[in-house]
Amino acid sequence: MKRSHLALGIIAIAACRSAVIATSAAPEIAPRVAAHFPAGWHLPSGAQASFAEHAIVSSNDSIASRVGRDIIRRGGNAVDAAVATGFALAVTYPIAGNIGGGGFMVIRMADGRSAAIDYREVAPLAASRDMYLDAKGDLTDKSVIGHLAVGVPGAVAGMNEALKKYGTMSLRDVIAPAIELAEKGFVVDSSLSRGLTRYQKDIGKFSGGSKFFPNGQVIAPGSRFVQSELAWTLKQIAERGPDGFYRGPVADTLVAEMKRGGGIITLADLARYKPEWRKPVLGTYRGHTIVAMPPASSGGITMMETLNILETYDTPAPYGSTLWAHRLAESYQRSFLDRNNKLGDPAFVAVPQDELTSKAYARQLRAKIDDRVHSPTSTLVAKREGTHTTHYSVVDAQGNAVATTTTLNNSYGSAVWVRGGGFFLNDEMDDFAAKPGSPNMFGLVQGEQNAIVPGKRMLSAMTPTIVLDPKGSVLLVVGGAGGPTIITGTSQVILNVIDYRMSLADAMRAPRVHHQSLPDSLTFERGGLSQPVLDSLRAMGHQLRPIGSLVNINAIMRVKGGWEGVSEPRASGGAVGY
């Protein structure tokens, strides 16, 4: 399959954001403990985070973080800032920031209300179960690149809905900075230029070629990049709300683009798109409360199932040890097995959420984990049923917190850029099981519950999460990009903070591991596990798979006197506060 993201390292360089403001009455944070990483690890511990007394936004693009921070400074709350940041990312971070994709937002208001909004893309009405199979029944690359890969975008409707219910500012006000950035341009950095160079061949096949590669050359770092088509689209949204995107001239450009390349999204698909408010997954881990995203994302359930298994061990295994990596792998392996076989869009399949997130179920799973030997996935499957993303988190001075993850799926999505509209479209259709039982771009082997049906949401792994301390105050706002590695990476940052009492900077720089049941391998960041640990894991039956980097996380943590923000040390970005 083309553009495979089996190389999780590539996926990992996606985006995430966060913003926070301090609350003076917040309880003390347990003291942090210095972290020690293996000698060969390239991100030494002891780095500094960005500190802000009042508010901070952590994302993959510092211009967009600044936009969010400024909105809070002007009196907006965390939701206003999150939406402003989201629209700014659509301009300055086109690899993943988007209006042509979808996402999930978890909100925790200072008054104790928690909410989750699902603005995941849906399969177009003309989609069909086998639309990505060739005459022989084999998978094609059409779920990954080109017009047929596109799900009906949810980003504009979702951000607007979140703003309406929990924000304080108008859509026009929060979208204004993005319009200005598109209209006046911004200075291209080497990260944007590098990303475009990497995907030049794919983007060049469609309408975006002349925009991003004038005269065949990638827009150079240091040059000013103006996007007048995108400014026009954003103004339509500012003036008419979601109708400015889903009906009328912008919708017409999107549908015209579909027709240009054999896509199937129609005006009717756009007109019927609706975001869904969901009840967040609420769980506990060693006295902390976890507020996370339910389906159509698998993120909250899968992470909670894993944390519940790990909580059954009275004492966490020493960080970086063989036992640490082994227990993580065995726990992830079991919760991903459930994820891949039991989760899907709740409007189409019954999701056993209560069972999967119960402590009793975790104890049953834990009983079958042997601390001495790996259980091959093939022995667990008996009862089979049935990169590019960006996360940002926000907390404001009142103590409202927002964790948002949004994606086009691949870097630049389907690579299809809407001529006249000025934005990339997702390739989210690949998150369905295009052929149940066969791996998708991320190597996820998923079942019938995630098969393609018109109007259905494809299962996601996005894991925007808010962690409350034992007294109920916001402690962490976290989430990431990287397909299935989002779940493992996000949970490891949480574990590093709670179990190993690392500073946020260390928790983010700490080496990560990943297991997703199939392929049955323990993926680790090169240099992140010591040789003796690797040797003993191999002896226990783990198939070890080194990779450059795993997951792209942006997080915020409450500290004494304010907040710390850290954007992914393995990628570009910035945490900006005041």
Task: Note the residues at the interface with ligand DON (CB under 6 A).
Answer: 11, 14, 387-389, 407, 409, 428, 431, 460-462, 481-483, 486
φ, ψ dihedrals at 327, nearest 5°? -65, -40
Type and span of the H or E element at 393: strand 388-395
The neighbour count for residue 35, using CB atoms within 10 Å, is 20
Tell the smallest beta-carbon distance from residue 483 to ligand DON (Å).
4
Closest CB to ligand DON among residues 357, 387: 387
The neighbour count for residue 137, using CB atoms within 10 Å, is 9
Closest CB to ligand DON among residues 92, 389: 389
Rounded to whole angstroms, how far apart are CA atoms 527 and 342? 35
Report the Cα 61 to chain-centroid distance in Å.
15
Its sign, for the CA torsion 341, 344, 350, 351, is: positive
Residue nearest ligand DON by beta-carbon distance? 387
> Tokens 């019938």 appear where?
448
Type and span of the H or E element at 57: strand 55-59
Assign residue 83 a region: left if phi > 0, alpha if psi is -120 to 50, beta otherwise? Answer: alpha
**DSSP secondary structure code for residue 20 in this structure:** E
Do residues 404 and 82 make contact, with C-beta atoms less than 8 angstroms apart?
yes
Out of 266, 302, 377, 389, pick the active-site residue: 389
Rounded to whole angstroms, how far apart are CA atoms 568 and 555? 8
**DSSP secondary structure code for residue 216 in this structure:** G
Catalytic status, residue 490: no
Closest CB to ligand DON among residues 76, 482: 482
Identity of the amino acid at 539? A
Closest CB to ligand DON among residues 64, 468: 64
Tell the smallest beta-carbon distance from residue 449 to ligand DON (Å).
15
Identity of the amino acid at 363? R
Tell the smallest beta-carbon distance from residue 398 to ligand DON (Å).
30
Rounded to whole angstroms, how far apart are CA atoms 233 and 19? 26
Tell the smallest beta-carbon distance from residue 503 to ligand DON (Å).
26
Closest CB to ligand DON among residues 266, 460: 460
Do residues 151 and 327 make contact, with C-beta atoms less than 8 angstroms apart?
no
List residues bridging with 283 in a β-sheet. Answer: 290
Tell the smallest beta-carbon distance from residue 519 to ligand DON (Å).
17
Structure tokens at 358: 């119960």
Closest CB to ligand DON among residues 357, 450: 450
CA within 13 Å, CB half, 12? 23
Tell the smallest beta-carbon distance from residue 116 to ligand DON (Å).
15
Closest CB to ligand DON among residues 441, 575: 441
| Active site (catalytic) residues | 389
